[in-house]
Structure formats: structure tokens, C-alpha cells
Amino acid sequence: MILQKKMKVLSVLLALCMVSTMLAGFVPSAAAQDPGDALFEAMKPMVELYNANVDRIPFIKTVASDARIHAEITLNDGSALVLGIVTDSNANVVSFEKGAIADPAIRARTDEATVNAIMTASNPVAAFQDALGSGAIYYEGVGFSNSLKVGLMKVGMTLMGFFT
């Protein structure tokens, strides 16, 4: 009799383990990360690389000095990673945060594939410049003066052969 009870308890426990294992693949975990978390964490070291190479990006200081930037990255699953970026007077990034930023001067949009291509490129600065030139990274000024700055920068880069 005791052996039968132990077998029943063991069977129930095994059944519960099997069911919970099968459901784990279908039921989202309460502790599941936001889809953009992994990309955001992968991008953090790129901020230092950008800051170290900001002088190699023509005209960037014209538009991105003392700027508040709202960046939106469309993820592969269709959701979006929104970033708030703040730069100093030399266009160095001084704040790189997940989430929207109040009163942005610039809005930028791209997709996850473009970000990954830049991060894995042998020359990320050139890959960034190529993405700007191809339109894979779209950016615009917010308000009249910022729109004018961005427009003049785009014209200047085109005239200087930046996108060739």
C-alpha cells in the first residue's frame, strides 16, 4: 500500500514537471526581459567608441553638439527600442539611456539590422557613415533651427563627397 502511494505521488510530480516544462516554452515568464534589453546592453560599449572617434565624423559637431536626441530602433520582432541621448559641446555622448527624452533637438530612426551591422563591422565609423549616407539611419531636426542645422549638415556632407 505504501509503495502504491509513493508511486502515485511520484507519477503526479513527474506529470507536473513535464507539464511545467512544456508550458515554459509557451507562457511568457514574469521576469522576461524587454526585447530591446540585449541590444541596448550591446550598444553601451559603442558609446565609448563613438566618443573616441567623434572627430572623424565630418560635420557631426555642427548638428550634434549640446544636443538631446530621441533615437528609435525598430527591432526584428517589430517592437521598438527608444533611446534618449545627450551630447556635450564636442558632440560626445554624456548620457545614453533607454527611454524617451524630453525636448529632443534631433530625432533619429533605424533598425536592428543596421545597428548590428555597425557594431560588428571591422570599421564601425565607416559603417556608421555608410548607414547615414544610404538612409539606413534617418535623422531630422526638431523645430525650425534644428531642422535648418540638420539640413545644412546634409548638404555640406553631400558637397564634400561624404556619401560617395
Number of C-beta neighbours around residue 47 at 10 A: 15
Closest CA to 65 of 89, 49, 42: 89
Domain regions of the chain by residue span: 37-159
Regarding the domain delimited by 37-159, which CATH topology (the fold level of the hierarchy) does it fall under? Answer: Nonspecific Lipid-transfer Protein; Chain A (3.30.1050)
pLDDT digits (tens, 9 = 90+) for 29-76: 434 467 789 999 999 988 998 899 888 776 777 778 899 999 999 999
The DSSP bridge partners found for residue 2 are: none
Closest CA to 101 of 88, 89, 86: 86
Q: What is the pTM of this model?
A: 0.71
Contacts of 6 (CB under 8 A, 6+ apart): none
pLDDT digits (tens, 9 = 90+) for 69-113: 999 999 999 999 999 999 999 999 999 999 999 999 999 999 999
